[in-house]
Amino acid sequence: MGIKETLPNNGNHSTGSEPATHVVTLVEAVNLALARAMEQDENVVVLGEDVGTNGGVFRATAGLKERFGCKRVMDTPLAEALIAGISVGMAAQGLKPVAEIQFMGFAYATFEHIISHAARLRNRTRGRLHCPMVLRTPYGGGIHAPEHHCESTEALFAHIPGLRVVVPSSPTRAYGLLLAAIEDPDPVIFLEPSRIYRMVKQEIRDDGIALPLDTCFTLKAGTDITLISWGACVHETLQAARELDKQGISAEVIDVATLNPIDYATILASVEKTGRCVIIQEAVSHCSVGSEIAAMLAEKGLFFLKAPVGRVNGLDIPMPYFQRENLYMPDVHEIIATAIKTMEYA
C-alpha cells in the first residue's frame, strides 16, 4: 500500500494554496478526514444512525450533512445489518461508503455481511466486483458508559481474511489512517478508541495525505524491551515507557495500528534487538490479537527471546458495568510490573 500522496481528484478546494492546519482531538481528526475525503472524491458517502442532522453521537460526522447534503450523509433506519449490507451494495457500485456503527457492541449484527460478503466480494468474483467500504465504530472501555458501549472485540474482525483492521491512537494517525482506509479499494474496519476521542490535541495539516496501512508505528525507540500496543492503551504504554526510562530500562514502543495484515517485520526486528517483549491490549486475552503477536514471536522469534513474552490484557470476562470497569482496564502499573518482571529473566 505505502503512503499515497494522492492529490484531490475532483474536489473543489484549491490545491495551490497551503493546506490549513488545525489543532484537534482524535474525534475531530476523524471529522476532518471524512470532510477531506468527501471533498476529494464524490464517491465517498457517509451513512449510519444519527450521523446526519445530529452529527453522530460522538460528533464525528458533525457538519458533514450541512456541507455535503443528505444524499452523501445518510441517516439510516436503526439496523446495523442493513447498514453493513447496503454498504456492500453501494461499494460494489463504485461508491465508497463510510458506515458508522454507533458502538462496537452493536457491530455483531453486521458480521454476516462483513464476513460473508464484504471480505469476500472481490475474491468470490475473481476481481469483477470489489468492496471499497469502511466500517467505522467507536470502541473500548473506560468511558463510564452503559453495557455494550465498551467492547474491545477487534480480534473477531482481525480473524477474517479479506478485511483490514485499523486502529488509530492519536489525532494525526486517526486523520492519516482514516484517509488511507477510505482510499483503500478493499473493506477496512476502522476502530476508534472512544476513551481517547478527546484526550489530547495535536496539530494536523489538513493536506489529504494518507498514512500507510501496512506498517506499525514505532513511537519511541528503545533497546531493552519492546512494548507493543494499539488504540487507547498506547497512552498507558507510553507512560509506562517513560517511567521505565527513569528506572534505567529503555523501552521501545510500537503502535501496531493495522491489526490485519500485521506488519510483522517491524515487530520482529524490534524484538530481535531488545530480546524482550510485553504486549498490552484492552481485549480479553483468549484468541486475541495479542495472542497472535505472541504466537508469531514463539514461532519466528524464539531464539532471540531472552524472556517469556509478557502480556497485559483485559480480563477474560465481559466488561463490568462501569462501577468496576477500572478493575478490567489494563493500567500503567501493570505494564511496568510486567515489563520489570520480563527484565528480570537473565
Partner 1 sequence: MQFTTTPYTEHQLIEPGGNATGTLPGWMQDQDLLLKFYRTMNLIRVFDKRAIALQRTGQMGTYASCLGQEAIGTAIGCALKTEDVFVPYYRDQAAQFLRGVPLYQLLQYWGGTEWGNHFTGTAREDFPNCVPIATQITHAAGIATAFKIRGQKRAALVTCGDGATSRGDFYEPLNLAGVWQLPMVLVVNNNQWAISVPRALQTGAPTIAQKAMAAGIEGFQVDGNDVCALYEAIRYSLDKAHAGKGATLIEAMSYRLCDHTTADDATRYRSHEEVNAAWLKEPVKRLQTFLHQRGLWDEQKEQQLITDCQQKVEQAVKDFQSQPQQPVDDLFDYLFDTTPPHLIVQRERTKQKAARLAGGNHHGH
Q: Which residues bind ligand TPP (CB under 6 A)?
A: 49, 78, 80, 102, 106
Nearer to ligand TPP, 31 or 102 (CB): 102
The position carrying cell 453493513 is 84
Active site residue: 22, 149, 159, 235, which one?
149
Strand 188-193 versus strand 258-260 pairing type: unpaired
Nearer to ligand TPP, 81 or 337 (CB): 81
Question: CB 19 → partner 1: shortest distance, Å?
Answer: 27
Question: CB 149 → ligand TPP: shortest distance, Å?
Answer: 8
Is position 263 an interface residue for a copy of itself (rule: CB under 8 A)? no
Is position 45 an interface residue for partner 1 (rule: CB under 8 A)? yes
Task: Return phi, psi of residue 222, to 5°.
Answer: -165, 170
Q: Which of 54, 63, 205, 247 is close enough to bind partner 1 by CB under 8 A?
A: 54
Contact 208, 218 (CB under 8 A): no
CA–CA distance, 267 with 252 (Å, rounded to integer): 10
User: Is 130 one of the catalytic residues?
Assistant: no
Is position 79 an interface residue for partner 1 (rule: CB under 8 A)? yes
Compute how many residues bind partner 1; rule: CB under 8 A. 89
Question: CB 213 → partner 1: shortest distance, Å?
Answer: 9
Which region among 68-76, 200-208, 275-283, 301-309 touches partner 1 (by CB under 8 A)? 68-76
Q: Which of 36, 117, 136, 311 is close enough to bind partner 1 by CB under 8 A?
A: 117
Which region among 22-30, 244-252, 257-265, 268-276 touches partner 1 (by CB under 8 A)? 257-265
Based on the number of CB atoms within 10 Å of its own CB, is 31 exposed (0-12), middle (13-18) or buried (19 or more)? buried
Interactions with a copy of itself, residue window 89-128 (CB under 8 A): 105, 108-109, 111-112, 115-116, 119-120, 123-124
User: How are strands ordered across the β-sheet holding 277-280?
Assistant: 217-220, 251-255, 225-229, 277-280, 310-312
Is position 322 an interface residue for partner 1 (rule: CB under 8 A)? yes
| Contacted entry of a copy of itself, partner 1, ligand TPP, none for residue 129, CB cut-off 5 to 8 Å set by kind | partner 1
Interhelix angle for 264-274 vs 289-300, to 10°?
60
Residues noted as catalytic: 149
